[in-house]
Amino acid sequence: MTDTTTPLITLHPDAQAQLFTDARTANTFTDEPVTDEHLRAIYDLAKYPPTAANTQPLRVLYIRPGDARDRLLTHMADGNRTKTAAAPVVAVLAADTDFHDHIPRIFPIRPELRDGLAADPAARDTMARFNATLQIAYWLLAVRAAGLAAGPMGGFDAAGIDREFFTDSSWRSLLVVNIGKPGPDAWFPRLPRLDYDDIVRHA
Amino acid sequence: MTDTTTPLITLHPDAQAQLFTDARTANTFTDEPVTDEHLRAIYDLAKYPPTAANTQPLRVLYIRPGDARDRLLTHMADGNRTKTAAAPVVAVLAADTDFHDHIPRIFPIRPELRDGLAADPAARDTMARFNATLQIAYWLLAVRAAGLAAGPMGGFDAAGIDREFFTDSSWRSLLVVNIGKPGPDAWFPRLPRLDYDDIVRHA
């Protein structure tokens, strides 16, 4: 018998819908701008969930319509160029491979981790990409928490974007995401999800 | 002038607290079991946010106390072994490098993507790890949505865990996470987060 007084999911159903069950990837956007204040509010949520040793390697380049956005478009896959051209703001989400420079400030319980990582660029690259990718997902749900829709796009030339925007920088692009208010016909039909028994084993 | 009738974050403040601002990584757990029904409810939220081409490469091995948990402990870093030994359930979160076999069912708009990926194991490995890592973050927030606490641990021998549990399997371990109800003194003090201006640029 199920105890109906204690739901398994304690998050409010409206919040479940806003972040998970009803939220959708947007393919069109209105021309309503996204303010800097709104972008700051997104980060003020996205910054909290965990990263390894609190390293927080995610970096974000926000691009609004103009010359930089035109240059970005040349590195997008054909199928994504029109969507990106129509979004009020586009985020290039990147991993900072020099994230270790912040360690004495953000992981003061073990500041010497900075020096170990300074000597190991390969370990830094792996750690930066893994933890920045976790943070990208936190950020995507924070965009939804801010009442906006996100349109993540994997189809782009990462090396080209890094040359265009991150020359002489330790940032490496991982994902490009359009954000804004959803426009007309913003959603495709929901695609099927794998079943629990497809993805879970017990030991 | 700020319009106080339209908050920048539309997610309910209680939900912001539960998933982002008040939620913490747990280092101790009570011995209250986590039911299979609860694990299924977590996946029923975590499965929805986006992955590239809807590929959903995340796989989860749940391990409860017993022989398998004892074998897992031998692959954990010293600092994590006691925590893992005390958790009611431990999740080994993995990427399935053969995720492409599901594509005709989960991405029916472009089933031929399966064959392209079948011929390119290196691209599959990159795609599996990136998208499973996004899904790990969705899953961590879904654990919080389920009223439980998570304790992610990067300190483990991934090759050892893969040999121990994923021999003759296409699963590759990415993160080990304790879950359960938080126990006594479960939290360390909150570590500092980077400022918006540390991580954001505009172009």
Spatial CA neighbour of B172 closest among B22, B76, B58, B41: B58
The residue assigned the tokens 């703001």 is A89
pLDDT band (50, 70, 90) for residue A6: confident
Contact B134/A at CB under 8 A: yes
Contact B97/A at CB under 8 A: no
Please report the DSSP string for A138-170 in residue order: HHHHHHHHTT-EEEEE--B-HHHHHHHH-TTSS
- What would the two tokens of residue A150 be? 């996100």
Rg over alpha carbons for chain B, rounded to the nearest Å, is 19
Rounded Cα distance, B138 and A107, in Å: 24
Rounded Cα distance, A162 and A171, in Å: 8
Please report the DSSP string for A35-69 in residue order: PHHHHHHHHHHHTSS--GGG---EEEEEE-TTHHH
Amino acid at A101: D
Q: What is the ipTM of this complex?
A: 0.97
Residues on chain A touching B156 (C-beta within 8 angstroms): none
Rounded average pLDDT over B4-23: 92
Residues on chain A touching B107 (C-beta within 8 angstroms): 191
Are the CB atoms for B88 and B31 separated by under 8 Å? yes
List, in sequence order, every residue forming a beta bridge with B149; answer none if it has no partner: B180
Name the burial class of residue A176, with classes exposed (0-12), middle (13-18) and buried (19+) by CB atoms within 10 angstroms of its CB.
Answer: buried
pLDDT band (50, 70, 90) for residue B6: confident
Which pLDDT score, from 0 to 100, does residue A1 have? 46
Which pLDDT score, from 0 to 100, does residue B5 have? 62
Number of residue pairs across A and B with CB atoms under 8 Å? 224
Asked if residue A3 has pLDDT above 70, the reply is no
Average pLDDT of chain B is: 96
Rounded average pLDDT over A44-72: 98
Asked if residue B51 has pLDDT above 90, the reply is yes
The upper half-sphere exposure of residue B79, i.e. CA atoms within 13 Å in the direction of its Cβ, equals 7
Is A147 in Cβ contact with B23 (below 8 Å)? no
Average pLDDT of chain A is: 96
Q: What percent of chain B has pLDDT over 90?
A: 97
- Whole-model pTM? 0.97
- What would the two tokens of residue A153 be? 């796009």
Q: What is the DSSP letter of A17?
A: I
pLDDT band (50, 70, 90) for residue A34: very high
pLDDT band (50, 70, 90) for residue A157: very high
The residue assigned the tokens 């980077």 is B194
Rounded Cα distance, A106 and B121, in Å: 37
Asked if residue B4 has pLDDT above 80, the reply is no
Contact B106/A at CB under 8 A: yes
Are the CB atoms for B8 and A41 separated by under 8 Å? yes
Residues on chain A touching B44 (C-beta within 8 angstroms): 196
